[in-house]
């Protein structure tokens, strides 16, 4: 029947006919689904695994994201994997994952990194002392080593993902654009869900890689050498690592310290997170202290954990955020607390504390454990506390999977500390420990607490773990006692006028000033110059830079910032957990799938979609997500998710409507991903302008995409019907 006769377009009729034959549809689209699954799945695997084993990428996490996106985009633009890379893909995969797995052996775990404008908790090589020029040349030498190592790893990531992106491209180019894009989105969604499940099951990286390789088997089933090398790679990654655990967030190693002679059980453990010391598990029980008064933990750890209770004797209700393996909880029990709320985000660290802490504090009926993000708990709780203790919360690596923003920073902002203050009883006190030492970190925490409490805190240099500082607010800050530690409040107050505050709009606790760290911009400049030079030789820009190509490019850049904005803002409201990150990204993909399905069956005006997109973006910039914090749980989820998802819906409608008309879907989607690379680079500007800049940049980029869509028609090499935008 004709379109006029039944109201259904030939394209829709063809789609319905194709869907009617499920077996035919599955056979036709399964390779595209598997390639799309592998692309996003391996992206998450590489980002997490690389940041765990090569510590540079934990602090500069969107470098791996940018390299992944560039590789996938390049493969799609080429529409198939380059022959040489495809033929040797198994060696590329083996090199990438074995390099990560054996990074410590290869001396890559602690690469030298420029750290003079950014504070990092990692081992660094000390510069030589002496004349200024020795230090200068040492810094240059270290910078060159850093650039060489990091860019080389990024090139390896690009090569790996170019093959996978090419597999997506060669299967996408043979499909109708919207159906292919829908399957691509669906595969990506399942990739996110699969990796999230594996993370929560606490399975090790060998399993991650095995499942990813399994998705790629159909593409290499006739290449026995490829399958053999992939299998051997997984086997080489399964070398047992004693006392090593993979939590949803970290690689954790627990090391037992031999007990003193005559003591029947271990008195201490060291817990390392991602190859860095994180915390000690200490026996500070009265029995142990009385029997072994000279034990190292008595002189080292006991004064620090006892100090809050010298300042606030015999508290009844205590909140501990960053409870970890239980040292702070044990201290509260020893001092008579009868109602203790212990908040810890990592279930594995919590489980290790339950099992191995010598005093077994989590077994007490007075302790109530909350597996949650500290900031999220502040929003949920209506309890009032005599004492709130901030443990050493720094996660070392807790970044959004989409950006360089460290989400644990939000625990130390003015707004977060005000939330904590609201939970204090009338005569309550807050004690915050942090390894800031005599650095700008301690200056910033002092000033931030001052603004949150409208009163300067007391600050004591405890020297715990070499740089511990204890800050005291509330009633305990009003009555000074001799703690035995040097008070540094006056020193920090002198620095306060020139100190940047940590706020929800600028939460970069570890960044000394409003600047993009040298470690980021140098490697980005080198990588992007070389990467786009290679791209220009493979596919000249004039073939991609037509009106429609630039329209899709800026849509990708805007969408990347939109995703980052949504993840950071909803994490701020619900907590920076894997659940929140995964749910937000999955929700965005679902919105894109809904938009794509809508366009498949009912054309939508891009003019209307752009108007709605700009309106919703402006509303989201004006209406703070914190406004929803006081709503009931269900209403809070619905309201905040709607505000975050609506821009994605309208952006998806625009993209799918434009994508519907492309003659070369693979190249079009590749150009869109290259735009996402640029969006990932621009995201670093929030370190200068703060997180509100994400919305402003998204508006500008979407504005550019509209300008290239609606301006007079020009070259449009990737489309066949683009002269009349709708």
Instruction: Inform me whether the pLDDT recorded for 7 exceeds 80.
Output: no
Q: Are strands 385-390 and 317-321 parallel, antiparallel or unpaired?
A: parallel
What's the pLDDT tens digit per position in 320-351? 999 999 999 999 999 999 999 999 988 999 99
Q: Angle at CA 340, nearest 5°, toward 335 and 342?
A: 120
Lowest-pLDDT choice from 75-79, 581-585, 653-657: 581-585
Instruction: Inform me whether the pLDDT recorded for 212 exceeds 80.
Output: yes
pLDDT value at residue 575: 64
Q: Are strands 244-246 and 251-257 parallel, antiparallel or unpaired?
A: antiparallel
Instruction: Inform me whether the pLDDT recorded for 444 exceeds 50.
Output: yes
Lowest-pLDDT choice from 7-11, 99-103, 441-445: 7-11
What's the pLDDT tens digit per position in 29-43? 899 999 999 999 999
User: Across residues 227-231, what is the average pLDDT?
Assistant: 96
What's the pLDDT tens digit per position in 517-539? 888 888 889 888 888 888 888 87
User: Across residues 394-403, what is the average pLDDT?
Assistant: 46
Region(s) of the chain under CATH 3.40.50.150:
298-394+414-498
The CA distance from 145 to 8, in Å, is 62
pLDDT value at residue 467: 82
Indicate the average pLDDT of the chain: 85
Q: How far is CA 697 from the centre of its chain?
A: 20
Q: Give the residues across from 470 on adjacent strands.
A: 433, 460
What's the pLDDT tens digit per position in 558-597? 999 888 887 777 777 666 665 666 777 777 888 899 999 9
Instruction: Inform me whether the pLDDT recorded for 702 exceeds 80.
Output: yes
pLDDT interval class at 94 (50, 70, 90): very high
What's the pLDDT tens digit per position in 299-319? 677 888 999 999 999 999 999
**Distances, alpha carbon 78 to alpha carbons 425, 636, 656, in Å:** 63, 44, 21
**Distances, alpha carbon 628 to alpha carbons 140, 296, 462, 638, 639, in Å:** 49, 48, 39, 10, 7
Q: Which residue has the tokens 């993370």?
A: 199
Q: Which residue has the higher pLDDT, 280 or 296?
A: 280
Which two three-digit tokens encode residue 43? Answer: 């992206």
Contact 378, 423 (CB under 8 A): yes
Instruction: Inform me whether the pLDDT recorded for 160 exceeds 70.
Output: yes
Give the CATH architecture of domain 23-242+512-710: Up-down Bundle (1.20)
Instruction: Inform me whether the pLDDT recorded for 548 exceeds 90.
Output: no
Largest Cα–Cα separation, the chain: 94
Q: Give the residues across from 276 on adjacent strands.
A: 273
Q: Which residue has the higher pLDDT, 261 or 205?
A: 205
pLDDT interval class at 488 (50, 70, 90): very high
Show the beta-strand stretches assigned E in 325-467.
339-344, 367-371, 385-390, 424-434, 458-461
Region(s) of the chain under CATH 1.20.1250:
23-242+512-710
**Distances, alpha carbon 98 to alpha carbons 44, 103, 235, 309, in Å:** 17, 8, 10, 48
pLDDT value at residue 16: 52
Rounded to two decimals, the pTM is 0.87
Instruction: Inform me whether the pLDDT recorded for 192 exceeds 50.
Output: yes
**Please, what CATH class does the domain formed by 298-394+414-498 belong to?**
alpha beta
Q: Give the residues across from 256 on adjacent strands.
A: 269
Work out whether the CA dihedral 23, 24, 26, 27 comes out positive or negative. positive
Instruction: Inform me whether the pLDDT recorded for 96 exceeds 90.
Output: yes
Q: Which residue has the tokens 């914190």?
A: 626
pLDDT value at residue 352: 96
Closest CA to 252 of 18, 52, 513, 538: 52
Contact 670, 556 (CB under 8 A): no
pLDDT value at residue 721: 43
Q: Are strands 458-461 and 424-434 parallel, antiparallel or unpaired?
A: unpaired
What's the pLDDT tens digit per position in 193-204? 999 899 889 999
pLDDT value at residue 577: 60
Instruction: Inform me whether the pLDDT recorded for 118 exceeds 60.
Output: no
Instruction: Inform me whether the pLDDT recorded for 722 exceeds 50.
Output: no
Q: Is 223 buried (19+), middle (13-18) or exposed (0-12) by CB count in 10 A?
A: middle
pLDDT interval class at 676 (50, 70, 90): very high
**Distances, alpha carbon 124 to alpha carbons 139, 146, 396, 434, in Å:** 12, 12, 15, 20
Closest CA to 78 of 538, 452, 441, 434: 538
Instruction: Inform me whether the pLDDT recorded for 360 exceeds 90.
Output: yes
């Amino acid at each position: 029947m004709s379109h006029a006769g039944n109201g259904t377009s030939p394209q829709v009729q063809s789609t319905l006919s194709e869907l009617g034959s499920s077996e035919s549809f599955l056979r036709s689209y399964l390779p595209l689904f598997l390639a799309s699954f592998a692309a996003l799945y391996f992206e998450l695997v590489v980002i997490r695994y690389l940041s765990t084993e090569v510590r540079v990428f934990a602090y500069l996490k969107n470098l791996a994201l940018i390299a992944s996106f560039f590789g996938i985009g390049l493969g799609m633009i080429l529409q198939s994997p380059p022959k040489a890379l495809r033929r040797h893909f198994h060696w590329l995969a083996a090199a990438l994952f074995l390099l990560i797995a054996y990074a410590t052996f290869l001396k890559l775990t602690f690469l030298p990194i420029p750290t003079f404008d950014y504070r990092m908790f990692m081992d660094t090589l000390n510069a030589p002392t002496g004349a200024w020029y020795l230090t200068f040349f040492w810094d240059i030498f270290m910078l060159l080593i850093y650039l060489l190592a990091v860019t080389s790893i990024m090139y390896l990531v690009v090569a790996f993902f170019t093959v996978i992106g090419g597999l997506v491209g060669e299967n996408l180019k043979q499909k109708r654009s919207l159906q292919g894009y829908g399957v691509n989105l669906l595969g990506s969604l399942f990739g996110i869900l699969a990796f999230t499940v594996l993370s929560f099951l606490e399975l090790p990286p060998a399993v991650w890689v095995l499942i990813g390789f399994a998705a790629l088997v159909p593409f290499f089933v006739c290449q026995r050498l490829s399958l053999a090398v992939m299998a051997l790679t997984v086997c080489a990654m399964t070398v047992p690592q004693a006392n090593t655990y993979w939590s949803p967030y970290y690689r954790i190693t627990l090391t037992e310290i031999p007990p003193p002679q005559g003591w029947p059980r271990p008195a201490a453990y060291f817990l390392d997170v991602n190859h860095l010391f994180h915390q000690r598990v200490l026996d500070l029980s009265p029995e142990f202290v009385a029997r072994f008064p000279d034990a190292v933990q008595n002189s080292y750890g006991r004064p620090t954990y006892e100090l809050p209770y010298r300042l606030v004797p015999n508290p009844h209700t205590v909140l501990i955020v960053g409870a970890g393996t239980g040292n702070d909880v044990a201290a509260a029990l020893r001092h008579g607390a009868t109602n203790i709320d212990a908040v810890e985000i990592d279930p594995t660290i919590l489980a290790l504390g339950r099992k191995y802490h010598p005093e077994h504090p989590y077994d007490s009926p007075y302790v109530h454990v909350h597996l949650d993000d500290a900031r999220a708990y502040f929003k949920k709780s209506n309890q009032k506390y005599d004492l709130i203790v901030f443990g050493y919360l720094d996660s070392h690596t807790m970044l959004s999977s989409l950006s360089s923003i460290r989400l644990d920073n939000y625990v130390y902002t003015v707004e977060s500390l005000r939330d904590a203050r609201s939970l204090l009883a009338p005569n309550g006190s807050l004690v915050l420990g942090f390894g800031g030492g005599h650095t700008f970190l301690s200056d910033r925490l002092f000033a931030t607490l001052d603004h949150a409490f409208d009163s300067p805190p007391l600050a004591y240099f405890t020297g715990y773990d070499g740089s511990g500082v204890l800050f005291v607010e509330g009633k305990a800050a009003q009555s000074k006692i001799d703690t035995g530690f040097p008070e540094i409040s006056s020193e920090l107050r002198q620095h306060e006028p020139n100190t940047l505050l940590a706020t929800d709009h600028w939460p970069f606790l570890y960044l000394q000033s409003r600047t993009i760290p040298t470690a980021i911009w140098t490697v980005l400049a080198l990588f992007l110059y070389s990467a786009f030079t290679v791209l220009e030789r493979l596919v000249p820009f004039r073939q991609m830079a037509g009106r429609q190509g630039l329209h899709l490019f800026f849509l990708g850049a805007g969408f990347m910032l939109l995703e980052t904005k949504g993840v950071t803002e909803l994490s701020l409201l619900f907590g920076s957990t894997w659940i929140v990150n995964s749910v937000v990204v999955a929700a965005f993909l679902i919105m894109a799938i809904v938009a794509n399905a809508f366009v498949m069956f009912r054309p939508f005006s891009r003019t209307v979609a752009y108007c709605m997109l700009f309106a919703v973006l402006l509303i989201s910039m004006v209406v703070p997500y914190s406004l929803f914090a006081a709503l009931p749980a269900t209403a809070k989820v619905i309201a905040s998710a709607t505000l975050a998802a609506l821009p994605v819906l309208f952006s998806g409608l625009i993209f799918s409507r434009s994508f519907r008309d492309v003659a070369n879907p693979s190249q079009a989607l590749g150009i869109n991903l290259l735009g996402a690379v640029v969006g990932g680079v621009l995201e670093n500007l929030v370190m200068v302008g703060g997180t509100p800049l994400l919305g402003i940049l998204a508006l500008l980029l979407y504005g550019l995409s509209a300008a290239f869509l609606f301006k007079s028609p020009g070259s449009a090499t990737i489309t066949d019907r683009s002269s009349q935008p709708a």
